[in-house]
Chain A
Amino acid sequence: MSERKVIDARGSFCPGPLMELIGWIKLAAVGDELELLSTDKGSASDVPEWVNKVGHEFLGASEKAGVWHILIRKTK
């Protein structure tokens, strides 16, 4: 059963949110979804770039009240 984990990296600067996401990806199971919350604007473009590069699935990103919600799925 796949799960969705929310990672709250609000307030952290680059590359803090990305590193936090990667730490949790290691612990997640294949198929799990992870939602990263970040107030660092750069993460909104940097995280999808990293996800595509290493081959996980980027599910989307949206901004609400200054917080980016970046959704990915672990694929391997």
Chain B
Amino acid sequence: MEQGGISILVVSGALERLQMAAMVASVGAVSGNAVTVFLSMNALPYFLKGSVAAAPPEGPFGELMAGKNVPAFRTLFEQAVELGDAKLHPCSMAMDVLGIAQDTLLPHLGAPLGLTKFLHDARHTQVWSF
């Protein structure tokens, strides 16, 4: 049922963007697409082991989400890996800048990825950025 590839670049730490990125990753992955998620900049700290920090809303929709039974973005990313063909990678540059080691990141995150490799792998796929 392989449909194609989806490449998702996430740099925002805002709730709405993390949520939509997680929705595209999970639904894309369970629909037969090979999904690669590249986590960088403000998005990466949410994927540290033990991180329970709530992402701040950037607008009224995000504020509204807090009171609703919306699936958590961390859960959706994990389901993208467990139920579909998704791979989550931390950005190697962001890890260096933030001083993050691989073993401090959640176990379903893959090896650090550089931008050159991400762009090369993404060249024939749909590319989404959040």
Contact = CB atoms under 8 A, between A and B. Distances in A.
Given A19-B83, A54-B1, A55-B1, A13 B71 contact: yes
Q: In terms of DSSP, what is the predominant structure of the interface of chain A?
A: helix
A22 interface: yes
A16 B30 contact: no
A18 interface: yes
Nearest to A23: B83
Interface in A1-42: 11-16, 18-19, 22-23, 26
A53 B83 contact: no
B44 interface: no
Contacts of A15: 23, 26-27, 71, 76
B31 A19 contact: no
Contact of A16 (B1, B3, B69, B83): B69
B13 to A, nearest CB: 21
How many B residues are at the interface, by size bracket? Answer: 10 to 19
B79 interface: yes
Contacts of B117: none
B83 A14 contact: no
Interface in A37-54: 50, 53-54
Interface in B42-92: 68-71, 76, 79, 83
Nearest to B71: A16
Contacts of B1: 53-55
Interface string B116-128: 0000000000000
17 contacts: A13-B68, A15-B23, A15-B26, A15-B27, A15-B71, A15-B76, A19-B26, A19-B71, A22-B30, A22-B79, A22-B83, A23-B79, A50-B30, A53-B3, A53-B31, A53-B32, A54-B30
Interchain residue pairs A-B with the least CB separation, the first 3:
A16-B71, A13-B70, A11-B69
Interface of A: 11-16, 18-19, 22-23, 26, 50, 53-55
